């Protein structure tokens, strides 16, 4: 068995959503003086590869720890949108339906935009990602999917469409997995893929860090 890591690394100053605090990692004890090393992290829980729970956008939504843990293990399909995604442009219902099987009940959909490979503090990555349109989010709800992932810090970019797209998904108890990175190998594997993305047990929190992996049985 092998694991393919879909996570983005986190470190002091790593790129993140510009409306969140910057990522800080400070040494508060170190060798040899203290005889141990400890870091103090200052970062929002929606940083790096993470899960959005309904509570993130809905006042009466469930928190990340209220999903059954099994919900984060399942069959996933990649919609390879790398050739059609453009800065500041929506991902449409048509683009999804052309790249995904018709039957998606209880499946996890992973949106590969190519922006995971652009991760840097550039205008394009910070402010101009492609985004899932409201209508494409409704398409995923109609299909009865369980979760949706994307290779950027937000499934819905940073503009005015952001709250509605999130609410359409989260209002249907579809969890959102953000800030993925897709190594080239995942595009060569037979689908569906086996995805694991267990969130950290943050009680009553709106989201949580995760280490998303694809399990490959050799």
Specify the pairing of strand 108-112 against strand 131-132. Answer: unpaired
Binder to Zn ion among 52, 128, 151, 179 (CB under 5 A)?
52
Nearest approach, Cβ of residue 33 and Zn ion (Å): 38
Rounded distance, CA 215 to CA 167, Å?
Answer: 30
Distances (CA, A) of 32 to 28, 36, 40: 13, 7, 18
Binder to Zn ion among 46, 57, 93, 152 (CB under 5 A)?
46
Between 145 and 177, CB nearer to Zn ion:
177
Nearest approach, Cβ of residue 52 and Zn ion (Å): 4
Site of tokens 């040494």? 27
Nearest approach, Cβ of residue 8 and Zn ion (Å): 13
Between 143 and 152, CB nearer to Zn ion:
152
By the 10 Å C-beta count (0-12 exposed, 13-18 middle, 19+ buried), 145 is classed as: buried
Instruction: Give, as ranges, the residues between 140 and 179 that touch Zn ion (CB under 5 A).
Output: 178
Interaction between residue 205 and Zn ion (CB under 5 A): no
Q: Where does this chain touch Zn ion (CB under 5 A) — which range of 6-14, 49-57, 74-82, 124-132?
A: 49-57
Rounded distance, CA 141 to CA 162, Å?
Answer: 16
Closest CB to Zn ion: residue number: 46
Nearest approach, Cβ of residue 209 and Zn ion (Å): 10
Rounded distance, CA 171 to CA 157, Å?
Answer: 18
- CB count within 10 Å of CB 58 equals 15
Between 207 and 212, CB nearer to Zn ion:
207
Between 56 and 93, CB nearer to Zn ion:
56
Distances (CA, A) of 139 to 3, 134, 135, 168, 176: 30, 9, 6, 10, 15
Between 31 and 203, CB nearer to Zn ion:
203
Between 21 and 101, CB nearer to Zn ion:
21
Q: Which residues bind Zn ion (CB under 5 A)?
A: 46, 52, 178, 207
């Amino acid at each position: 068995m092998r694991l393919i890591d879909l996570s983005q690394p986190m470190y002091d100053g790593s790129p993140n959503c510009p409306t969140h605090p910057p990522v800080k990692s400070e040494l508060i004890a170190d060798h040899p003086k203290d005889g141990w090393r400890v870091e103090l992290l200052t970062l929002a829980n929606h940083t790096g590869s993470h899960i959005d729970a309904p509570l993130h956008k809905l006042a009466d939504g469930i928190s990340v720890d209220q999903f059954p843990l099994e919900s984060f293990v399942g069959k996933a399909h990649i919609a390879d949108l790398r050739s059609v995604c453009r800065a500041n442009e929506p991902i449409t219902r048509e683009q999804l339906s052309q790249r995904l099987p018709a039957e998606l009940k209880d499946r996890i959909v992973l949106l590969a935009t190519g922006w995971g490979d652009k991760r840097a503090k550039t205008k394009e990555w910070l402010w101009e990602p492609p985004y899932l349109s409201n209508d494409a989010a409704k398409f995923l709800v109609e299909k009865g999917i369980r979760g949706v992932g994307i290779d950027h810090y937000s499934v819905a970019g940073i503009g005015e469409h952001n709250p509605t797209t999130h609410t359409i998904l989260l209002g249907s108890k579809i969890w959102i997995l953000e800030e993925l990175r897709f190594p080239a190998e995942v595009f060569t594997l037979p689908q569906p893929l086996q995805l694991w993305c267990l969130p950290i047990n943050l009680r009553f929190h709106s989201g949580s860090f995760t280490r998303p992996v694809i399990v490959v049985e050799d």
